[in-house]
Chains A and B, each alone.
Chain A
Amino acid sequence: MTVTRLALRLSYRGALVVALVAGGMSGLVAGTYRTTVGALAGSELRALAENPAIRVLFGPPLALDDPGGFTVWRTGTAVGVVVAAWALLTATRLTRGEEDTGRAELLLGGRLTHTGLAGRALAVVSGGVLVAGAAVALGMVAGGADTAGAVVHAAGVAGTGLTFAAAGALAGQVMPSRAGASGTAVAALGVALLARMLADGTERLAWLGWVTPFGLVARSAPFAGDRVGPLAVLAVPPVLLAAAVLVAGRHRDLGQGRLRRRSARAPRLALLGSVTGFAVRRAVGPTLGWTVGVAGYLLFVGSLVGEIVRFLDENRRFADLAAGAGFTGLGTPAGFAAAMFGVVSIPAGLFAASRIAAATADETARRSTPLLALPLSRTRHLTTEVAVTVAATVALLAVAGAAFSAGSGLPLGAALAGTLTTAPVALLSLGAAALAHGWAPRAVLAVGALPTAGGFLLHTAAPGWLATVSPYAHLAAVPADPPNWPAAAAMTVVAAALAGLGVAGYRRRDLLP
């Protein structure tokens, strides 16, 4: 009981935020449906539903003439991803993460077993997922959607979340480290999304829709039939995965996954000669992982550009709709590319923030202490981390641009200009994370996510003047428009100032813990 309470304490804040975001997004879009979408002509709806690229990217549009149906199409995938990502990251944190820090040893010294610990963590995360699901249903009903469809949609979101909570807990039992467990579970989420895209894009692979949670959710057709069959199928994977968690946890040592690393190896001394080298060495793996993910997505989206542009060109009403949601000029290849590049600054910013959060975690776990006992000033330490992260972020954006160019045929120079234009926005996230490292080291990732993830939400959902606070209001749609140099310079200066304040705070505070 106490262990369950501990897991609750370690996760309830995130759960509340996720529930608020999921419920808020759903409610907001449903509530503003009448004013934004209005009445669409039937022919336009049919064109939308039949366009393969639209189906691939956003899922098959059903019941767009209904506030609930439109909300499902517009926000369903995003809400599902937010809930699933929270669920899997929290599940790996509460299981493998607690073992990595050695804290679980204290608990498991008592009567509790590994499987008991993993089971309780999974139960708590699943509870959080159900709360988020309830928030989605409440938000949509409050926004004026039908109750039946809202419940079907919310059940789909919850089922997706439960699946990935169990997948995260399983990865926590199998993989030898928290980073490995989180990475594997995130990759599974990516594969599930990709499977849904393939299922909706190609007739031959339509069966894939029955093996991915996102496909099952689409087939449950909220507000367009409310089918229960796919939801029943969706109830199976969480149960199977949870059973696998219990089996996998039974025969392993604490602190070890089912997969073990080789225990001895020859030393690899590259990049251990300097503080900068060591920062690069620690950044290489995560940078590669994030770059492959982001560039892969842009390559895929790039290959769909032709279809989407043709569709939007023929259906002006949707281009206008998209403009209302912050995507202007989608009807041209360059405009569409610019919109995608703007979106890519979100993962780039989150990546940058996660690198600073990793440095904070090293400090909390006392791993940085041996380094900071050397003749290395705090200023130099944080500045090095920030500088290496700037380079890594720019590299990530450049590779992503090249990938989009390869997929879409957009000239390489234009694509690079487009992704690199968004660098100042990503750097704002880096600066905010560095600021938090100095002054609020327990909230580095959350503060770091504000300029990009928060700014993007603000830009697309907030009314009037409030939206102009977002950095995205000042981001030029390169390559469709020329770069907004003054804004880019201003954002870079603000990012540098935030980082500078962070260094000042880091200099004057005590080391954690």
Chain B
Amino acid sequence: MSTPAIRASGLSKRFGAVLAVDDLSLRVEPGEVFGFLGPNGAGKSTTIRMLLGLARPSAGTARIFDDPASDVRRAHRHLAYVPADVALWPTLTGAEVLELLGRVGPGTDREYRAELVRRFALDVDRPARTYSTGNRQKVALVAAFATRAPLLVLDEPTSGLDPLMEREFRRCVAEARERGQAVFLSSHQLTEVEAVCDRVGILRAGRLVEIAGIAELRRLRRTVVEVSYRDTPPSLVDVPGVVAVEPLAPQRVRFTLSGPPGPALRALSDGDPTAVSMREPALAEIFLEYYGEDR
């Protein structure tokens, strides 16, 4: 068996009375894209800070390609990191930040970096203080993807990106996997994780509740459907995949759909719908339904 890219065992972090991360163990293989899924405040960033040696665990250990996470001079030769909230030196331009991180870092593919700057449409000649959140994130993403490090640790890297750039980001993750780099992607968006990851760890209130393959993750998938109808309400009783039906107003109903949508769509078209809207529920709502109220 090869050396795991990340191996955490029994990681815990306590801030006073609050247990932010509780006995977390996981293993990420080289070349694997691992999703780290959890609602805001579940402890994702705290876990990542411990994996990077930026915060000291209250208990447990973490190793990066078998080097202790606390020995950052060795461990960080294997990784590149994009923080959740990217802050840059305000007077340095994007190009200067890339130069600094590239030359002090574990090795950079300059040609690929130039290509990434183009693809992310990043204006590198402006000082960082004029950058929006999304632009600062792009600088950090370009720097990380351009490294030759075998592990990329990305903490909610798309929160400031627009949909076009998000698509570019997913391409970059795929290219990283092709090059054999492992990616540790923290996210609170089910669709993002589903789109790019091989395996997913689910974090809830500081505990790793499950590690699942993408196929198993589909069980979690939910769509909230709201239907307006003219006269007769659609008959949704005993339709496979339809749960939690609740009338919203006269001539308006909401239900949650899980699994294949065919039966539900047929049931709707049998009635007399005037409008249908669908949305993905927030992760917290899905978790609440799936794992219940426990903490």
Return chain B residues, CB-CB under 8 Å to A265: 93, 125, 127
Knowing A367-B87, A369-B87 are in contact, say whether A374-B127 is a contact too (CB < 8 A).
no
Can you name 21 A-B pairs with beta carbons within 8 Å?
A261-B129, A267-B93, A267-B99, A268-B96, A273-B103, A274-B104, A275-B104, A278-B104, A367-B87, A369-B83, A369-B87, A370-B81, A370-B97, A373-B76, A373-B80, A373-B83, A375-B72, A375-B76, A375-B106, A376-B76, A380-B73
Q: What is the minimal beta-carbon distance from A276 to any residue of chain B, in angstroms? A: 10
Apart from A272-B103, A278-B100, A370-B81, list 17 A-B contacts with CB within 8 A. Answer: A261-B129, A267-B95, A272-B100, A273-B99, A273-B103, A275-B104, A367-B87, A369-B54, A370-B143, A371-B100, A371-B104, A374-B101, A374-B104, A375-B105, A510-B55, A511-B54, A511-B55
Return chain B residues, CB-CB under 8 Å to A268: 96
A-B contact number at CB 8 A? 99
Q: Cβ of B99 and Cβ of A372 under 8 Å apart?
A: no
B88 in the interface, Cβ–Cβ < 8 Å? Answer: yes
A377 in the interface, Cβ–Cβ < 8 Å? Answer: yes
Cβ < 8 Å to B, chain A residues 256-286? 261, 263-269, 272-275, 278, 282
Specify which of A264, A269, A370 is in contact with B123 (CB 8 Å cutoff): A264
Q: Cβ of B54 and Cβ of A264 under 8 Å apart?
A: no
Specify which of A272, A366, A375 is in contact with B73 (CB 8 Å cutoff): A375
Q: Cβ of A377 and Cβ of B72 under 8 Å apart?
A: yes
B130 in the interface, Cβ–Cβ < 8 Å? Answer: yes
Q: Chain B CB within 10 Å — which of A267, A377, A508 has the most?
A: A267
Question: Chain B residue with minimal CB distance to A370?
Answer: B101
B56 in the interface, Cβ–Cβ < 8 Å? Answer: yes
A365 to B90, CA, bound (A): 11
Q: Cβ of B56 and Cβ of A510 under 8 Å apart?
A: yes
The chain B residues found within 8 Å of chain A, CB to CB, are 49, 52, 54-56, 72-74, 76-77, 79-81, 83, 85-90, 93, 95-97, 99-101, 103-106, 123-127, 129-130, 140, 143
Q: How many residues of A contact B (CB 8 A)?
A: 35
A177 in the interface, Cβ–Cβ < 8 Å? Answer: yes
Q: Chain A CB within 10 Å — which of B49, B73, B87, B129 has the most?
A: B87
Return chain A residues, CB-CB under 8 Å to B93: 265, 267
A509 in the interface, Cβ–Cβ < 8 Å? Answer: yes
Q: Cβ of B74 and Cβ of A375 under 8 Å apart?
A: yes
Question: Chain A residue with minimal CB distance to B98?
Answer: A267
A269 to B89, CA, bound (A): 14
Question: Chain B residue with minimal CB distance to A508?
Answer: B56
Q: Cβ of A267 and Cβ of B96 under 8 Å apart?
A: yes
Question: Chain B residue with minimal CB distance to A511?
Answer: B54
Knowing A374-B104, A510-B49 are in contact, say whether A267-B83 is a contact too (CB < 8 A).
no
Knowing A278-B100, A510-B55 are in contact, say whether A264-B125 is a contact too (CB < 8 A).
yes
Question: Chain B residue with minimal CB distance to A278?
Answer: B100
Q: Cβ of B99 and Cβ of A272 under 8 Å apart?
A: yes
Question: Chain B residue with minimal CB distance to A372?
Answer: B54
Q: Chain A CB within 10 Å — which of B95, B104, B126, B130 has the most?
A: B104
Q: What is the minimal beta-carbon distance from A258 to any residue of chain B, in angstroms? A: 16
Q: Cβ of A269 and Cβ of B104 under 8 Å apart?
A: no
Determine chain A's interface SS by DSSP, over half rule: loop
Q: What is the minimal beta-carbon distance from B67 to any residue of chain A, in angstroms? A: 10
Return chain A residues, CB-CB under 8 Å to B125: 264-267
Q: Cβ of B55 and Cβ of A370 under 8 Å apart?
A: no
A146 in the interface, Cβ–Cβ < 8 Å? Answer: no
A275 to B76, CA, bound (A): 15
A100 in the interface, Cβ–Cβ < 8 Å? Answer: yes
Return chain B residues, CB-CB under 8 Å to A362: 89
Contact pattern, A 451-467, Cβ under 8 Å of B = 1, otherwise 0: 00000000000000000
Specify which of B86, B124, B140 is in contact with A267 (CB 8 Å cutoff): B124
Knowing A508-B56, A509-B56 are in contact, say whether A264-B80 is a contact too (CB < 8 A).
no
Question: Chain A residue with minimal CB distance to B54?
Answer: A511
A273 to B100, CA, bound (A): 6
Specify which of A177, A371, A377, A510 is in contact with B129 (CB 8 Å cutoff): A177
A373 to B100, CA, bound (A): 13
Q: Cβ of A263 and Cβ of B54 under 8 Å apart?
A: no
Return chain A residues, CB-CB under 8 Å to B88: 367, 370
Return chain A residues, CB-CB under 8 Å to B129: 177, 261
Q: What is the minimal beta-carbon distance from B44 to any residue of chain A, in angstroms? A: 16
Q: What is the minimal beta-carbon distance from B19 to any residue of chain A, in angstroms? A: 15
Q: What is the minimal beta-carbon distance from B108 to any residue of chain A, in angstroms? A: 11
Cβ < 8 Å to B, chain A residues 347-378? 362, 365-367, 369-378
A273 to B98, CA, bound (A): 11
Q: Cβ of B73 and Cβ of A370 under 8 Å apart?
A: no
Return chain B residues, CB-CB under 8 Å to A177: 90, 129
